[in-house]
Structure formats: structure tokens, C-alpha cells
Amino acid sequence: MAAPARGEILRRAGDLLDTRADAIGHDLAREEGKTLGEGVGETRRAAAIFRYYAAQTLEPDGETYPSASPRTFLFARREPVGVVTAITPWNFPIAIPAWKLAPALAYGNTVVWKPAELVPLTSVRLLEALLDAGVPEGVLNLVVGRGSVVGDTLVTHPSVDAISFTGSNSVGRAIQLKATERGKKVQLELGGKNPAVVLADADLELAAEHVARGAFLSAGQKCTATSRVIIDQAVFEPFAERLAQRAVEWPLGDALDPTTKVGPLASDQQLQTVLGYLETARTERASIVAGGDRNDDLGSGYFVRPTVLTDVDPTSTIVREEIFGPVAALLAADSYEDAVEIANDTPFGLSASVFTNDLDSALRFARDIRAGVVKVNQESAGLEYHVPFGGTKGSSSGSREQGKAAREFYTEWKTIYIDPGTPGG
């Protein structure tokens, strides 16, 4: 199929997602626990991603080069890599699949897609939009099942040329080993332990609001969530008070209730994991200034109160490991240099924020921090779809998703020499 024709299908898919956004967002909230507003917003973001890559199908797909021979026409073009396995997580069950499926299809690949087993309904809704838009039979294939059952086949099958995975570090690295030893192309987006640095000159109300958003929205179940907050000692107490106030006041409850700001965790397993980390925090003598437990007033749902921890050791489990829950650990810093050193002291390098009113400090932080995404006076979470996304260190395999950068993974170069043959022949 010609690239512009593929683009028309993706554009129709985006329009269908927009039309169905309220219904899909409702299903997403019921299935995954994200608030209704977040679910609808995520669906509309997926629609925008499909329209963006529809436009990319009209972009140049190659380059011409001068040849040493005046008779030779020399050019290179990008061609699809082939069959792509896309393995996606439950925390963004429509946006993350969209930013894998849209470029894969735009650039001419076929896809076998395995979503997380927690979100089959939302996955089917996305597939329906693409099929209704006209994706040909066999081009996009949905496999619903546990990774422990179907994962090896999807990664090691000889027909698979590339694997794009978003999920945990342990699973991602295991996939990388199995795939690369078979010569397959691999793209990994893994975990994060993302810092927000609050300098002494920051607007504390702004900083507290954005740190709370990064830490508590989506119940903290985001790889880009703010989980470590490094605060200049001079403003530590007033900032902690402001953040704790939001943790206490933000409504926690039913994802379908329009007044809810923080919904439940996605599963009982996730609930037990987060509660286990909070118990570890107590064992490690952290002080809990807000939250720290399950909200039993809401019944048997997977509700954990937004939590703010202080008196945490930089080497403690709660500071080192990804929790994937609504938990923010606060650490004090003596200076800008100390704050950056603490922020960089992690095996991860996905996203980071700094809050300051000084332009020099902001630009300096953007240079000094080891992270793939840097925000100034914004929450660490929240991504625009037309720019590269990915991490450094243990957060990534080094590739980038979204925007034009996605073309690097889903295509490969072919260089072509054309000579007219014998002169006069």
C-alpha cells in the first residue's frame, strides 16, 4: 500500500477514536482505574497520535547523493523493518499502544500486538477503531494473554524482525537478551525514579501543585511519575507543608466519579506492592507526613492515600526502587550542586523537573541532569507526541519513541545505485 493511503487509514482511525472517546474513556476507567477525565484525555491523545503519523506518511522517505560517477543516480530510502512485535503495559493502555502502532503502520510494517492482560477491553476498543478505519486483514494482529505464556514466541519467532517493549526493567532486559542473540532489533522503554528539584527561589505554590500532579495523578502509576523530591533546605518545610496539604485534600475515590482526582491502583497485585513499599518505609524509619496507608473508608477497592515521606535516607529502598504508586519521598539539599548530585544518584534516567525562577539555574540543570526528558517549572510526567521520548541509563535501550524519531526504529536504510547502462544502448 502506498504511504499516503496508509496515512488516510490512520487519519480515519484518529477521527473514530475522537468520536468514541467518551465511551472508550469510560471503559478505560472501569478496567484500569484511571479517572474518567484521564481516560477520555488519554483516548483523545491517542487520536492525535494517529493523525500525526498520518501526516508523516507524506514526508520525504529518502535522500539523493552526488556520486563519483556522473552517470550514476545515487539515492537512499527508508523501508519498513518488517514484522514488529509491540508489547505494551497496562498503565497507559491506549496512548502507549498508539505511539507504537501508529508509526509502525505509517512506515509500512505489520504488527503483532500484545497488550497487558489487565486491559483487554481497552485494547479491543483501539483495535476496533483501526479495523473500522480500514487496516487490511493480517496487518495488525492482537494477541491477548500472559507474557509468561506467549512472550517467548512473540520475541523469538523467526518471522519477527523487531520488538518494541514498554514495561519493567527485569522483563525488558530478558527480552533484549533473547531478541538480540537472534539478531532482532529491540526498543525498550523501562522504569524511572524521577526527581523534582525545588530550588530556594522557586514559586512554592507552583512547585507543590506540579509535584503533586506528577506524584499522585494516575495514582502514581506512570514511568515518568515524580517519586523523589529534592528540596533546598531553606524552603524544605514550607514546601513539604504545601505538598502534604494537597495529598490530604485531593479527592480519592471511584474513577467514574467526576469529582475524583486520584483513582484506585490497577490491581490487587499492585496494591500489595505499594503497601509493601510503605511498610518498608516504616522499617527504614521514614516519617509519614501524609497518607501512608490504604483508605479503608472506600471499601474493598485498591485505594492508597497519596503519601508524602520525609526523613528518608538517600540509600533507602523507598528512594532507590520504583514504587509505581502515589508516593513522594522528600530529601533535603544544601545547594544546587548537592541537589543535582542527589538527583543523578539513581540507576534510572527517564524524566526530571526543576523549579526555579532563575534562567541560569534552569539551563544549568537541563545540562547537568542525566535524563531523557527535562522539565522546567512543570511536572515530570506529561509528554507531547511530536517530540522524541526516551530515557538514559537503566530507563531505556537508547532508542527514542514518538515524533519523527520513531522512524529510526521502524525503518531501515536501503542505498540504491542506478546507472543507465551502455551509452547509446
Instruction: Determine the residue type at 415.
Output: T
Cα-to-chain-centroid distance, residue 83: 23
The reply to whether 223 belongs to the active site is yes
Instruction: Determine the residue type at 225.
Output: A
- State the Cα–Cα distance between residues 107 and 7, nearest whole angstrom: 9
Instruction: Give yes or no for a contact between 211 and 198, defined as CB atoms under 8 angstroms apart.
Output: yes
Phi, psi of 337 (to 5 degrees): -60, -40
Count of alpha carbons within 13 angstroms of residue 167, beta-carbon side:
23
Nearest to 341 by CA among 213, 240, 228, 243: 228
How many C-beta atoms lie closer than 10 Å to residue 137's C-beta? Answer: 7
Nearest to 393 by CA among 349, 340, 356, 425: 349
Q: Is 405 left (phi over 0), alpha (psi -120 to 50) or beta?
A: alpha
Nearest to 387 by CA among 409, 404, 367: 404
Number of helices (H), then strands (E), in the chain: 14, 15
Sequence-distant (≥ 6) Cβ neighbours of residue 304 within 8 angstroms: 219, 265, 271, 274, 275, 278, 291, 293, 294, 295, 325, 326
Which residue's C-alpha cell is 519523527? Answer: 404
Q: Which ranges of 57-186 would DSSP assign to H, the alpha helix?
A: 95-106, 120-133, 147-156, 169-180
The one catalytic residue among 32, 38, 42, 189? 189
Cα-to-chain-centroid distance, residue 256: 23
Total residues found in the chain within this entry: 425
The one catalytic residue among 32, 38, 42, 223? 223
- State the Cα–Cα distance between residues 396 and 85, nearest whole angstrom: 17
Which residue's C-alpha cell is 505509517? Answer: 106
3-state DSSP call for residue 374? strand
Instruction: Give yes or no for a contact between 226 and 353, defined as CB atoms under 8 angstroms apart.
Output: yes
- State the Cα–Cα distance between residues 27 and 122, nearest whole angstrom: 6
Instruction: Give yes or no for a contact between 361 and 336, defined as CB atoms under 8 angstroms apart.
Output: yes
Residues catalogued as catalytic = 189, 223
